[in-house]
Amino acid sequence: MVEITEVRAGSPADKAGLQSGDLLDQINDTVIRDVLDYRFVTTESQLHIAFVRNGVRQSVSIHKHEYADLGLEFATPLMDEKKTCGNHCIFCFIDQNPNGMRDTIYVKDDDSRLSFLQGSYITLTNLTDEDVDRIIRMRLTVNVSVHTTNPELRSKMLGNRKGGEALRHLYRMAEAGLQLNTQIVLCPGWNDGEELHRTLADLFRYVPAVESIAVVPFGMTKHREHLCKIAPFTQETARAAVAQIEAVQAWSLTEHGSRIVYAADELYLLAGLPLPSAETYEEYPQYENGVGMLRSLLDEFYDALADAEYDGGERHLTIATGTAAAPFFRQMMQDLHGKFPAVTCDVIAIENRFYGTSVTVAGLLTGQDFLAQLQGQSLGAELLLSETCLRYDDRFLDDMTREELETALGVPVRKNAVDGYALLDAVLGADESM
């Protein structure tokens, strides 16, 4: 049973007499264990709810409109304890953090429910057959971290003897026709080359259930002293991976009418290759995984710039970003200045000294690195940062707040969406929201 912590006023549950503190037991004969059961059954319009109040079992019937929310709140979004990860992946970024950071940095999630609710990727190693039965019954879309379909290698890479065995859950869900998005964190010398070929071949056997495959290079920080040895990517190994993926894409277009597999932006940057066109990413199925994000940003920006007008005065500001994206931002700002000479936007590439210079993305920059490399510079009217640098509470990874950085630098610090239209608005001052 799950305790109801709040009943929203005027909701169907409120009108039926449910109260805060009631223990929710069943809805339409489905035992409610967590948010999946709750969301699945409450899509129905006629609900028979069994609950316990003060030790007495009671029930009510509720009729709600098809899209109406029942109006119940619970202590956690999952209505249950979050399942943590039992793996010890050789490439795990969390294990590459230094000591002394906030506790939440070291928490590893591998909860299948977060895959459905938030789009996170799961390894399947903590699922039971009963869990898979429920997922299939509910026809849920699942995001799976596959990495390799070689059972022995997967067990080694996940640091979990169940790693290879858990692949049966993937195949069961695919055979049941569930929609699956998958990812491969590529580690040179481990799951690249022939092993990558094997993994892609195995996954393609389950197309169209397997809707997309992202190949993402592993991230290496300078804090790997006691961890498994993995060779860093070189331009040569990155190019070999891209060539392999693009060959499979060409074959897949002929066989399936879709590329299915996509290389992350970072893999192209490591390879020193130009980004593919927007058409290559089709409908951007792996956008949140960093696949096509930079291409989308560029295309949006230039589409917006083509139609933009600016009649303001002289404007000077600064963008600070990771070393990987900085060249692209510099080109965009040069082109903007060419059209609107009154607007000057400097771009400063911030080296990641906290995690190591091999970490080049903006989302892993800390407040202390921004401060150390920007302090004393002429930043203009304001500083723009990607929203990926900050948590929901406006804190960087090292717990510095955006407000603290503003105070130290003496200029407003604006977080900007990863969106080319929003970027142009921010640079031109069309949207002054912070």
- Specify whether the CB–CB gap between 22 and 52 falls below 8 A: yes
Global confidence as pTM: 0.83
Residue 108, beta-bridge partner list? none
> 189: closest CA among 145, 241, 116?
241
The CA distance from 3 to 20, in Å, is 8
Q: What share of the chain is helix, strand, coil (3-state, %, to 5)?
A: 35, 20, 45
Residue 343 has a pLDDT of: 97
The CATH number, out of the four listed (3.30.1490, 1.20.120, 3.80.30, 1.10.1760), of the domain defined by the range 94-289: 3.80.30
Determine the pLDDT at residue 434: 38
Contact between 52 and 1 under an 8 Å Cβ cutoff? The reply is yes
Domain ranges of the chain: 2-74, 94-289, 296-428
Q: Note if the bond before 208 is cis, omega within 30 degrees.
A: yes
Considering the four listed CATH numbers 3.40.640.10, 3.40.47.10, 3.40.50.720, 2.30.42.10, the one that applies to the domain covering 2-74 is 2.30.42.10
Give helix then strand counts, H and E, for the chain: 14, 14
d(CA 205, CA 247): 17
| Antiparallel, parallel or unpaired: β 383-386 and 413-416 | parallel
Q: Which residues on neighbouring strands pair with residue 31, listed in sequence order?
A: 26
pLDDT value for 376: 92
**pLDDT tens-place values along the chain, 434 residues long:** 889 999 999 988 999 999 999 999 999 988 888 877 888 888 888 899 999 999 999 999 988 776 678 889 988 776 766 666 678 888 887 776 777 666 665 455 655 556 555 568 889 998 899 989 988 988 888 999 999 999 999 999 999 999 999 999 999 999 999 999 999 999 999 999 999 999 999 999 999 999 999 999 998 787 777 778 899 999 999 999 999 999 999 999 999 999 999 999 999 999 999 999 999 999 999 998 999 999 999 999 999 999 999 998 999 999 999 999 999 999 999 999 999 999 999 999 999 999 999 899 998 999 999 999 999 999 999 999 999 999 888 999 899 999 999 999 999 999 999 999 999 999 999 865 43
What class, spelled out in words, does domain 296-428 have in CATH?
alpha beta
What is the spatial distance between Cα 90 and Cα 264, in angstroms, rounded to a whole number? 20
Question: How many residues in the chain?
Answer: 434
